Amino acid sequence: EFIRHTIIGDMSQVNSISKKPAGRPAGDADTRGKILAAARLEFAHEGYSTSLRKIATRARVDPSLLVHYFGSKQQLFVESMLPLFEGPRHIPTAFIGERSQIGERMARLFVGMTSQPATRNLMLGLFKSVSTEAKAADMVHQFIQTAIIDTIGEYLPGPNKKLQANLLGSQVIGLFVARYIVKVEPLASASDEELIEYLAPRLQAHFDII
């Protein structure tokens, strides 16, 4: 609810999602869900530059239904990306247990989360859309700052927690971009366990600062 309020509740430049055209085009009970699923895949493949027609084709629905349910492509994009903001709420679990193992727990959490196709597609759609859609840039900022950095910052030691949290957040986001968008080798083809082995001590270093 916090993320929904932050992303959608403060969208003064975007028409309300509830403002849909009158009437109800033909569609079954799961039409909205099918459109969202198709949109997530299309945004993951092409970013915001994909078209409503391509999304409708993937969802196997009439294009008018996209406008009926979501009003515009921007509104559909925002609704499609919202589930991504549920992932970071698991971050505090990494801080339960021995302090010396925080880095490994965080590495496992992040690598495990981004290895899941559903989460990975959402992140791909969001990050690929930054250069072409202002709302995507806003959502990336919210995702990194509010959902990740602010949460991690509460648990960091040292006098400059904000800078440390920014550096840590940049590490994990940079890893995702290099692995799944730029596809740098051998990073892109490395196994999850290999990544965790190298990432864990580098994340742990942020929590060993006195």
- Using DSSP's 3-state secondary structure scheme, residue 122 falls into helix
Whole-prediction pTM? 0.76
Instruction: Provide the residue-wise pLDDT of the chain in tens; the chain has 210 residues.
Output: 444 444 444 443 333 333 444 444 555 668 999 999 999 999 999 999 999 999 999 999 999 999 999 999 999 999 999 888 887 788 889 999 999 999 999 999 999 999 999 999 999 999 999 888 888 888 888 888 887 888 888 888 878 888 888 999 899 999 999 999 999 999 999 999 999 999 999 999 988 865
- The pLDDT value given to residue 183: 94
Residue type for 15, please?
Answer: N
Nearest to 169 by CA among 207, 136, 203: 203
Alpha carbon separation from 69 to 16, 58, 136, 139, 154 (Å, rounded): 11, 16, 20, 21, 39
Nearest to 209 by CA among 158, 152, 149, 162: 158
- The pLDDT value given to residue 148: 83
Question: What CA–CA distance (Å, rounded) separates 143 from 2?
Answer: 12
Within 10 angstroms of residue 185's Cβ, the number of other Cβ atoms is 10
